[in-house]
Amino acid sequence: MISQPTYFEAQQWAFSYVAAHGGYREDATWLLRAPHEWDATALLVHLQETMPVTEWHQYQVNVQRVCTGWPPQQLVGKAPFFGRWFTVTEDTLIPRVETGDLVEWLLADYPGSAPKQVVDIGTGSGNIGITLKLAHPEWQVTLTDISPRAARVARLNARQLGAVVSVTVGDLTAPLTGQYDVLVMNPPYIAMTEQSQMDISVRKHEPVRALFAPENGLAVYRQLAKEVFRILSPHGRIYLEIGWHQGEAVRQLFEGQFPAAQVTVRQDEAGHDRMVRVCL
C-alpha cells in the first residue's frame, strides 16, 4: 500500500475497500471530506495534494470501521446541521436533515427581532437550540438534556460556535423554572418494537434513550403534554418532531390537555407526518 497517497489515491483505495467489504462509496468520500469540513467542490480542489501520514492512517481505520457499521459522523466526531458542523459523540444523537425542517418552520414563524425565551429539550449535541440562538442572538435560549454527557457536548458546541446559551441537566421539564415563549423538542419517538428494523449503525452506536420510547413511541409526548403548562407562557408555542405515523396521536394528546390550542401537523417531502406545532 502507498505510504503517502494523494487524496485521490486514498479515495481510490477506499473505493476498492468498501466494494470488497460491503460498505458505501458515499461514506468513503464523506470520511475524506469531513475532517476538513470540505464540501464536494473543496475535495475536488484538494484531490492531487498529498495526504499527511497521520491523516492517511486515521482514514484507513475509519474506512475499515464504517464497513462494520460505525456511523461515519462518530468516527470523525462531527456532523453537519443547518450549515454548521457540530461535535457529536456516542452520547448524542447524530443530527438529521429532517430536524432542520423543524428549525426552518420555527424560524419562519418568528421573522421579527422581539426577544423570546426559548427552550430546546433533549438537546443532544445542542444542534437545534444553538442554531436558533445564532439566528436570533436576542433570544434567551436554554438547552436541556437528561444525559449529563450530552449536555457537556452541547456546552462544547455552544462555545465552539459562539452561541451564548444556558445548559441544564434533567428529565424533560424538571430542570426548568422559567416561563418560555417557545419550546422545541426532537424527542425519542421510535417504538421499542421497531428496534430490530433499524439500521445496525443506529442500533449499535447511537444512544438508545435518544431514539426509543415506550407506549408505541408516544410516552415522551404524553409526559410533555401533562407537564408543559408549568413552563409555557400564556401564548407559548411548542414545536416537536414526530414519527411518520404519529400526527393524529400527538394531536390528540395535546388537544386533550389544551382544548383551546391550535395544533398543526406537517409532513416531510415524502408526504409523511414529520412535525407538530401547538399554539396555546
Alpha-carbon torsion, ordered 101, 106, 107, 112, to 10 deg: 170
Nearest CB to ligand GLN, comparing residues 94 and 225: 94
Find the shortest distance in angstroms from Cβ 12 to ligand GLN. Answer: 34
Find the shortest distance in angstroms from Cβ 155 to ligand GLN. Answer: 14
Backbone phi, psi, residue 243, to 5°: -75, 165
Nearest CB to ligand GLN, comparing residues 56 and 189: 189
Nearest CB to ligand GLN, comparing residues 95 and 243: 95
Find the shortest distance in angstroms from Cβ 128 to ligand GLN. Answer: 5
Nearest CB to ligand GLN, comparing residues 93 and 119: 93
Find the shortest distance in angstroms from Cβ 142 to ligand GLN. Answer: 13
Nearest CB to ligand GLN, comparing residues 67 and 183: 183
From the list 61, 88, 95, the residue with the least C-alpha distance to 74 is 88
- Summarize as ranges the residues that interact with ligand GLN (CB under 6 A): 93, 95, 99, 122-124, 127-128, 186-188, 210
Find the shortest distance in angstroms from Cβ 213 to ligand GLN. Answer: 9
To the nearest 10 degrees (0 to 180), the angle between helices 127-135 and 148-161 is 30
What is the spatial distance between Cα 117 and Cα 112, in angstroms, rounded to a whole number? Answer: 14
* Cell 421499542 found at: 192
Nearest CB to ligand GLN, comparing residues 62 and 144: 144
What is the spatial distance between Cα 179 and Cα 197, in angstroms, rounded to a whole number? Answer: 39
What is the spatial distance between Cα 241 and Cα 169, in angstroms, rounded to a whole number? Answer: 21
Single-letter code of the amino acid located at 11: Q
Nearest CB to ligand GLN, comparing residues 211 and 231: 211
Nearest CB to ligand GLN, comparing residues 186 and 201: 186
- Contact residues for 208 (Cβ-Cβ < 8 A; gap 6+): none
CB 82 within 8 A of CB 100: yes
Find the shortest distance in angstroms from Cβ 189 to ligand GLN. Answer: 8
Find the shortest distance in angstroms from Cβ 143 to ligand GLN. Answer: 9
Single-letter code of the amino acid located at 63: V
Find the shortest distance in angstroms from Cβ 135 to ligand GLN. Answer: 16
> Residue with the closest Cβ to ligand GLN?
124
